[in-house]
Structure 1
């Protein structure tokens, strides 16, 4: 079964008559267990379709479109962990009596690990991060190294293609961003939704910093474990940095597989079917 629904962002509008942010959620399958899956930058919840249909008899997969992505209608110029946590909490509150598994890919992994401490549910079972950004990603790793006073103007000029292309060329020549990122910007900046997506994400992403100790505390509070899946040919990860952050955490297991940055649906399908066998009576 494939369907969708909307979630409203519940905080009061800043101005009377201001449009309301709405999050578009795709739903795949009708199994009893819930899989809440968050996609990466530039994608949408549709990225989870093959995995969701593969697991459809055992799981109901909920795949929200991130702000500025897919069909989500996000009118504010940024979002915070508190706002994003409220969206995730709305999904969890729909299923208080069902086991819930969490999965984040790339930027979605960064967001889930940052928001985990603020989520509540009586039966959170497991967290999976696939090629998580922030703790080793090349997409926004360079943003984490910049002072916040530079990120704000960078977000503004990202809405002006010529300016950001000149800047990305300058950053690429000095090794601050890699060539892949510079070419990615060059090929997409003529698209207006993309410009708004990258500007809004730039304004928001530093509010979701990777904090290893806080993440470990959140896992222990929920009595959860986390598996981090890392493709051995993933060109978008700083593998050493990812190992140094996640490797020492007692509640985290690193799993290296043969692959790149793409979502490994077959591997994840096997993982979740085995998880049900070992955790659900």
Structure 2
């Protein structure tokens, strides 16, 4: 695996690339992860593909100095710059997005449909608008409350516990939330990451028109026991585009991007 920095405006965007194949895959990681999450794929498809992974703002080694702003134009420019660097900008790209990276992949599909070969989404965010994420990132009052809560989380913990006791919040979501707001640094990063990514909000209705218009295959992979991002979201998305969009469910939870799942991931890339 090789790594480098792309200078973009006043920032340094860290990325890695691996594999030697002619086909190009752009890898988009999940929340709290980095481009290196995809490295295990090299030994399985590295002779046929070159894989490029970007560390998104406030993730990995990227030094993001544009404040809490990351626009669709920023995402597209960074992608097109790397595209031109590694295949002169003419070869079509396969998008591979996991969790939060699935939402980013959908945004790129919407913005660069003519340059996309295929889209593979692993337990993807972005197929349903989460009310709490919308409130925390798309409204002024919600974002202020979000910022306050990340500095003073006591009241929120109490609310979660009460919701769990009343069976309004399941245990998996409670554990997931505790994990991400149980530490001062983790809470700061949560606020920065969520707020910075707020402009990445793909238009699903428009995307579902683009898919048949550009003959774009979409492959969805979910964990049957995922309590964070449910397979039902994918089932709803593929209605009306079934001939282009397939959905696969495997016996795992949210962590579908693991080497032990490689036998399920690789056919989706190659099909």
Q: Same fold (TM over 0.5)?
A: yes
TM-score, L = length of structure 2 = 0.82
Equivalent in the alignment of 1:183: 175
Unpaired segments ≥5 residues, structure 1: 11-19, 276-281
Partner of residue 167, structure 1 = 156
Q: Could you say if the C-alpha distance between residues 39 and 158 of structure 1 is closer, same or farther in structure 2, counting changes exceeding 3 Å?
A: farther
Deviation at 1:35, TM superposition (A): 0.9
Residue pair 1:9, 1:23 contacting (<8 A) in 2 also: yes
Q: Where does 1:1-281 land on structure 2 (aligned, <5 Å)?
A: 2-10=1-9, 20-75=10-65, 76-94=67-85, 95=87, 96-119=89-112, 122=115, 124-136=116-128, 142-144=132-134, 148-157=139-148, 159-160=150-151, 163-171=152-160, 173-174=162-163, 178-189=170-181, 193-250=185-242, 251-262=244-255, 263=257, 264-272=261-269, 274-275=270-271
- How big is each residue's C-alpha offset from its partner over 1:138-189, in whole Å with a ceiling of 9 and x where there is no partner? xx563236662343114422542xx134324424533676544443444454
Secondary structure at the aligned position of 1:25 is classed as strand
Deviation, 1:199, is 1.0
Contact 1:37 1:62 in 2 (8 A): yes
Q: More helix by proportion, 1 or 2? A: 2
Q: State whether residues 247 and 253 of structure 1, in contact with CA within 8 Å, keep that contact through their aligned partners in structure 2.
A: no
CA distance in 2, matches of 1:205, 1:169: 27
Alpha-carbon offset, residue 28 of structure 1: 1.3
Taking the aligned partners of 2:75 and 2:157, their CA distance within structure 1 comes to 29
SS at match of 1:50: helix
Change (3 A) 1:217 1:202: same
Residues 51-79 of structure 1 deviation map (CA, whole Å, 9 limit, x = unaligned): 13321111111011111111011121232
Count of residue correspondences: 259
- TM-score when normalising by structure 1: 0.80
Residue 269 of structure 1, CA deviation:
2.2
CA contact (8 A) 1:127 1:224 kept: yes
State the partner residue of 1:17.
none
